[in-house]
Structure 1
């Protein structure tokens, strides 16, 4: 993968060489296999390349096709190469060595601005079309690779990083208060609902699933991909759904492990990463390669305080997977002495923005850093699995049983309910009572409303800024409740996850920035377009059949995963449970810094100081380990990351 940048002067003025030099110099902190530039009067393209695939070795980017008058700079790995070769009628020995960037260019020649619809993979690219005097580019459907831009009346500039754009003398580090208002008001891990804005007012980004066209001084963004559950797939048996999943997932995983280097994977004790690892190890065995797995574990002196259904140390489950699957070299990393605080400033610098996954930041960064030292080029994960391959929560299962009850399908309900109670070791009468309330909710809802507590997530945003930015009304349009109460039905929750683009940017930003920092590309087969489309087409009952939540993946991984992992419905892993343990020695410093924050004039107009003071009183100077589940803890850690970012990355040029 690569960091790319460019400048387009609208009125045919030559590109200032200092500006292009500044853009590229900002990439110097990242490792590179080749740095190359292309400039022609009013256009400049640059690429700070990291070679990952066999076809990228020796690749020259930007690439100029003189005959066609097309230039491309790209940060891309295309996964559906074989299909594109057929559609483009590319035959002979050429496909084996053709770089992905040139494949995109050939596809653009055939389909023009429709080209992103034909591409599957992780990509961000820009093409200069000399004949049509047009700049065209796109970002993949989930925004796996970042692409930022700044536009003015006379110029358009783009880059993989905001640091690069901020090197231009006319781009200021002005804080985008509307973006920050969304960040602070949203209770969940979502950063902002605006998929085009960034933390900086002068910088925007191409949203996921969008292309961009710059022509005649006009910038146009177009959405080219919508993920919806359209037609339901109808197969003859459960086994056919399982076989179809296995075929698609193996194809997808195999396309994700295409690299000349070593392949690694993040591995927990659960279904998603376990499934990725089992299919990857099988695919790599054919290449005579070993899969290297990296698993986060707590420090040795951590005392488990969690409820019985949580597993902070998943080694027993991970080792079951490793031994069952085979062809795996497993490592367990505790990152002794590191904490979310020790990595805070560096991680903010890497991310180029505030972030909410405070407790997991240090080990995500640590795994990428360690994998890089081991020669890993591709690092697999299963981060999107909860909404794709392992969809089917307990709530969805019980809702399905309620549907059977309402439709008077007694025999099917009796059979499924018996299997469910057997899995969860509970009484059928108890579950039937819950199902009845779901099937006939009017009375139970009246009772629930009478007893419901009016709890609200603390508003971390300054109330005056909330009014000025109209953030509450804006979030309602995106089905986000600032109180933190989520009453969406499971299927609505899933469809909204794929419908709204704001769910994608967080993972794309982290993956891009970490890959640039360490030269290790994160790839998620559970987030592949082919996998998601298949999973959205599967009938609901496939996810809840045989009395199992997440039924499809449990059945489809028979002979792929050990039963201890595959059939486990009683416990789940939890990363970050040792956050307070790691912060114990430095919590008083955090407490002191947050006290200082409440008196800082730069902050009082942005954050709700009263809420922060209350959270400090609630948590105190000696927090209990279980406060990681407390909203007051989230208020404090989010306040800290925002405070550090504002102090270090928004002042001065």
Structure 2
């Protein structure tokens, strides 16, 4: 993988000689193995390579061919197929194959290329610049137009260091701070920096100089939402075969590195499904799979037990049981003694280049990535997207489909089987289900911040209503097909995931791969009949039924409990506190007063830490840290 950056002056004028050093300065904090650049007249391109695969060591990026300049951040999943289609030599690098694919198919290249990528092309003959991200924006890429100059970069800091007068994008900040949820990309293309844009999934841009002004054309080369139809016939055997073939390929294709392999492992269906297939495949190659599992502090478990209601707070037992079935898994359990959600907040906001709100889980994720690097791991797997793909499916969705299609007898049969198998009180389940069914089309009311956030900001840019549109139909148990499609291909979710995975991967020297978020997996889940997901009393059937020979019964048949990471977040904050800070209000500067009532926020920050306010505190502190870092950077320039 790589970070790419550069500047093209479409007027034809030479690039200022200090631009390369300015744009390259921020790369020093990331784990880059080699950098190469092209700097010729009006063209500057640079690539910071990470050696993830054996082929990546041979990459020569950027390069120029027939006056066409090219650089890329890429790892291909269908490398062998591309070699055959393009008739390329087997020694061709991923960058070369991506370039040849674009040359051969133009904007239809997306029909032939699979993998993680972003790339930039400048055709000097046409004086035309193009920039692309992959099908799901797994690898983020940004751009900024300043006069006749076009800046592009994986990292926003490369751009803001070269153009220091770029201000904070208030529209992005207003939207991000309006809710405690981890989502922050509400408006497509916007970033925390004014005029610096990020490409949404499956998108490219074409920039040209037309009579002294820069024209921009957006190319949507991949937009599956309206093109994927659900299979009309339910053949369980064929659906099983199709799912297994697709899922196995998605997992195997991620296992491409000259280093070791790791996985973020819990006791749930998603990561164990990924882990079981990966471990089985790697065992045949006599390779290990290193796993990383979050566990709470010992005295938290002693005081509260390993379960809370239907949640498992300590999943070490389940993980150890799972590892017995796959002896080549080498597990690590991360207690993260002395750390809490604010331990790494400055570091996190710095390398992610945004006010990141989901601080709680990054305690153990940080330690996982450090441990992975120490063990020589270069590819870290996860099943983070699995709730919307391989383990999607509850009985409420199935009943909704049957009832709205007037299959009342079948709906009653499914209701009977499900409530009997799960031991659910029929009357209680039916009452809750019918209440939700009759309110499907009711406008969702997403929780927006009432603690200090300036209420007049809700109305700016229709922020509250825009958030409600995004979450329409997603707050209850029932999801219609339309709602499910919007969820699976949610640009905001894909955008944030891509930013975090790209920049964290660059920072720790790894690449994060999630087979449950593979393009092929998403497309298949939209095409499979609804009965594949929940039927005959079994929910989340894709894993529980189709992978019964891979996922152990003690995990696969657990229908009562679900794992929960970082349940001890409040205890950690109370116990370990923040270095050099007596009260949390000291972490909040007056920089946030544009978005918050500062006096009220400081009072709220010093209230006792609880499960109800810790996410809010994380959001406010990360906002303050991000703005402080931005201010210090501006003052130093």
The answer to whether TM tops 0.5 is: yes
Q: Which shifted more, 232-241 or 207-216? A: 232-241
Q: Deviation digits for residues 12-59 of structure 1, max 9, x if unmatched?
A: 111222111221232122222221111221001101110112221222
Is the Cα contact below 8 Å between 1:612 and 1:635 reproduced in 2?
no
For residue 285 of structure 1, the aligned residue among 265, 283, 286 is 283
Is 1:572 aligned to residue 562 of structure 2? Answer: yes
For residue 196 of structure 1, the aligned residue among 189, 195, 198 is 189
1 CA distance for matches of 2:600 and 2:293? 36
SS at match of 2:361: helix
1:39 aligned partner: 39
Is the Cα contact below 8 Å between 2:267 and 2:555 reproduced in 1?
yes
- Cα gap change, 1:128 to 1:195, in 2 (>3 Å): same
1 CA distance for matches of 2:459 and 2:424? 49
2:488 aligned partner: 498
Is 1:583 aligned to residue 581 of structure 2? Answer: no
1:635 aligned partner: 616
Q: Deviation digits for residues 574-603 of structure 1, max 9, x if unmatched?
A: 011010111113558878342674xx5432
Deviation at 1:453, TM superposition (A): 12
1:413 aligned partner: 412
1:81 aligned partner: 79
Is 1:544 aligned to residue 534 of structure 2? Answer: yes
1 CA distance for matches of 2:585 and 2:475? 27
For residue 648 of structure 1, the aligned residue among 629, 632, 637 is 629
Is 1:604 aligned to residue 604 of structure 2? Answer: no
- Cα gap change, 1:15 to 1:457, in 2 (>3 Å): closer
Unaligned runs of 5+ in 2: none
Q: Residues 159-308 of structure 1: matches in 2 within 5 Å?
A: 159-168=153-162, 170-172=163-165, 174-216=167-209, 217-228=214-225, 230-234=228-232, 237-303=235-301, 305=304, 307-308=308-309
Is the Cα contact below 8 Å between 1:30 and 1:516 reproduced in 2?
yes
For residue 70 of structure 1, the aligned residue among 51, 68, 83 is 68
Q: Deviation digits for residues 471-499 of structure 1, max 9, x if unmatched?
A: 23444554569xx9669735343221234
Is the Cα contact below 8 Å between 2:178 and 2:448 reproduced in 1?
no
Is 1:389 aligned to residue 390 of structure 2? Answer: yes
TM (normalized to structure 2)? Answer: 0.91
2 CA distance for matches of 1:5 and 1:171? 16
1 CA distance for matches of 2:103 and 2:587? 58
Q: Residues 106-125 of structure 1: matches in 2 within 5 Å?
A: 106-125=100-119
TM (normalized to structure 1)? Answer: 0.89
SS at match of 2:126: coil
Give the aligned CA root-mean-square deviation in angstroms. Answer: 2.9
For residue 557 of structure 1, the aligned residue among 526, 547, 552 is 547
For residue 155 of structure 1, the aligned residue among 114, 129, 149 is 149
Q: Deviation digits for residues 502-530 of structure 1, max 9, x if unmatched?
A: 12121111111111111110011111111
1:592 aligned partner: 583
Q: Residues 87-98 of structure 1: matches in 2 within 5 Å?
A: 87-90=85-88, 94-95=89-90, 97-98=91-92
1 CA distance for matches of 2:484 and 2:451? 26
1 CA distance for matches of 2:570 and 2:311? 16
For residue 138 of structure 1, the aligned residue among 122, 132, 149 is 132
2 CA distance for matches of 1:456 and 1:132? 48
Deviation at 1:438, TM superposition (A): 5.9
Is the Cα contact below 8 Å between 1:235 and 1:241 reproduced in 2?
no
Is the Cα contact below 8 Å between 2:340 and 2:576 reproduced in 1?
no
Unaligned runs of 5+ in 1: none
- Cα gap change, 1:644 to 1:330, in 2 (>3 Å): same
